[in-house]
Amino acid sequence: MNLSDLIARNAAFTPDQPALRFEGEALNYAAFAARIAATAHGLATQCGVGKGDRVAILSLNRPDYLVLLYACARLGAMLVPMNWRLAVAEQRFILADAAPKVLVLEQAFADVAPLAANDLPGLHILGLDFETPTIRPFGSLLDTTQTAPATGSLSDPLLIVYTSGTTGRPKGAVLRQEALLWNGVMSQHMHGLTSDDHVLTVLPFFHVGGLNIQTTPALHHGATVTIHARFTPDATLKTISEDRPTLTVLVPATIQAVSDHPAWAATDLSSLKAVSTGSQVVPPHLIERIVARGVPVLQVYGSTETCPIAIYTRLGGETSRHETTGLAGLFCEAMIVDDAGRELPPDVAGEIVVRGPNVFSEYWRNADATREALRDGWYRTGDVASRDADGYFIVRDRKKNMIISGGENIYPAEVERVLLEHPAIADCAVIGRPDPKWDEVPVAYVMLRADHVVHTDDLYIHVLAQLARFKVPREFIVVKDLPRTALGKVQHFVLRQNAS
């Protein structure tokens, strides 16, 4: 059995039930299952994709994204969702690391195509909404009524999701099909999910939050998913009002955007049985904005490496403790431990560790990082939290030095690596500064080399050439020295305290 079988089973039970809605059109479960089978056949026969091969996609949210996911599951192949907000140089690194056989992309992101073709001879490039003499249309995979043999199994790796690492280079977290299966079971437990539900997905599929908190679990249970290509507050509120979804996921930045929108007060939210949120410590005032409208807010804690559902509050359970992110999931263990890995008593802060079938199996082609993160089956999150006497987790701090800006993770080491390539920079440190709109924005403290001067506009252009715009520091502050430990390591926390 593989995950695509769940779509086929739902198609047998309720063939006419809408599976996906997108831009005014609906795809029922029968058509969805047929498209998955045809796509799998096309990938196998036209592109040579088999068990263990990688298929990359660079696209906004669309039904084809999910068709590819389940086609890969059918074949035992792996989907590599690519962040369209990254710079071309970052996308090129991910493609070189994952070495896919196929790259599927939208025309808006076609700049990466010639570089990918040069780096990966034999790469099949398919255009979702365009074609050229060297780029075939994605629809050509569907020119068949045949289906490929279902060679995939639940034990096969299915996703390689790249997350920026503390070394400054992205790491690909490998999630097996069974991780998505058990993650979906916990989502069902969290949301009371049934085939009668209607999920609105506005978060990007290149994040496990957009893909796996509600979207894939809803499809596994035969529910309907409405997809937005990308988040906008007006479209979100319009869909909630007119299409009446029962569930959606919003990160703090999107909660603020919809609740600040002029249409917020007049929008009918009564169809929503809950809004789920997470990705960071959620400001209580944002939760209160939704609760005040009569909609429960569910919190979820996790990461790319946990698929992401690991700790959560659930519909019908205790949701009034807004300072907590809930209890360990139904099929997931979580503890607070000290540096030696010993479990700590209630109300004592330590590191969150997680173990369960939802946890990733490895970092792609990175054995050292895998050994560091996975110890005796426990994933060391690097997040600091405590747990009260009732078992509820209270997250105290995020991963070391990580910045979360508008729901996007930014690792300072990645930005610092680029800054240090500038000839005028001797040393630097990047931290997150509180921001009323984005929660945090990156700020860089830079030390100049002797006899060098530099204009901050030059530094901005230098970073923007290699990294996504949201990672570029909003301010460059020239300093004579940086706070350091006795071993010479920069103390980012001191800079954060000064910037608060």
> How do beta strands 136-137 and 333-337 pair?
unpaired
CA dihedral 307→362→336→185, nearest 10 degrees, is: 30
Burial tier of 460 (Cβ tally within 10 Å: 0-12, 13-18, 19+): middle
Say if residue 125's pLDDT is above 70: yes
For each of the domains in the chain, give its residue range(s) and CATH number, in order of start. 4-291 (3.40.50.12780), 409-499 (3.30.300.30)
CA dihedral 27→30→34→35, nearest 10 degrees, is: 10
Confidence (pLDDT) at 253:
84
Per residue in 345-403, pLDDT (tens digit) is 999 988 999 999 999 999 999 999 999 999 999 999 988 889 999 999 998 765 567 78
> How do beta strands 374-375 and 378-387 pair?
antiparallel
Please name the amino acid found at residue 287: I
> Distance between alpha carbon 330 and the CA centroid of its chain, in Å?
21
Confidence (pLDDT) at 198:
98
* Positions of E strands within 376-488: 378-387, 393-397, 403-405, 408-410, 425-435, 439-448, 475-478
Confidence (pLDDT) at 395:
85
Say if residue 481's pLDDT is above 80: yes
Q: How high does pLDDT run on average in the chain?
A: 93
> Pick from 337, 296, 108: which is nearest to 190 by CA?
296
Cis ω before 283 (30° cut-off from 0): no
Using 50, 70 and 90 to split pLDDT, how confident is the model at 258?
very high
Confidence (pLDDT) at 372:
93
Per residue in 7-53, pLDDT (tens digit) is 999 999 999 999 999 999 999 999 999 999 999 999 999 999 999 99
Confidence (pLDDT) at 12:
98
Lowest-pLDDT choice from 160-169, 207-216, 233-242: 160-169
Confidence (pLDDT) at 397:
60
DSSP 91-154: HHHHHHHH--SEEEE-GGGTTHHHHHHHHSTT-EEEESS---SSSEEGGGGGS-S--------T
Confidence (pLDDT) at 487:
45
Confidence (pLDDT) at 319:
78
Mean pLDDT of all residues in 145-164: 90
Quick one: tokens of 6? 């769940």
Q: Which residue has the higher pLDDT, 499 or 400?
A: 499
Confidence (pLDDT) at 280:
66
Using only C-alpha atoms, what is the Rg of the chain? 23
Helices (H), 149-306: 177-191, 208-212, 215-220, 233-243, 252-260, 284-291
* Sequence-separated contacts (24+) of 459-463 with Cβ below 8 Å: 459/419, 459/422, 459/425, 462/418, 462/419, 462/421, 462/422, 463/415, 463/418, 463/419
Confidence (pLDDT) at 399:
59
Confidence (pLDDT) at 167:
54
Confidence (pLDDT) at 260:
93
> Pick from 386, 368, 475: which is nearest to 428 by CA?
475
Per residue in 390-444, pLDDT (tens digit) is 999 998 765 567 788 998 878 787 898 899 999 999 899 999 999 999 989 999 9
CB 64 within 8 A of CB 36: no
Confidence (pLDDT) at 74:
98
Q: Can you tell me the distance from the alpha carbon of 391 to that of 396, in angstroms, rounded to the nearest whole number?
A: 15
Confidence (pLDDT) at 77:
98
Per residue in 285-339, pLDDT (tens digit) is 889 999 999 999 999 999 999 999 999 999 998 878 878 899 999 999 999 999 8
Confidence (pLDDT) at 204:
95
Q: Can you tell me the distance from the alpha carbon of 26 to that of 18, in angstroms, rounded to the nearest whole number?
A: 6
Confidence (pLDDT) at 500:
67
Q: In what order do the strands lie in the sheet with 54-58?
A: 136-137, 124-127, 102-105, 54-58, 78-81, 157-164, 170-176, 362-363
Residues 6 or more apart whose Cβ sits within 8 Å of residue 419: 425, 428, 430, 444, 446, 459, 462, 463
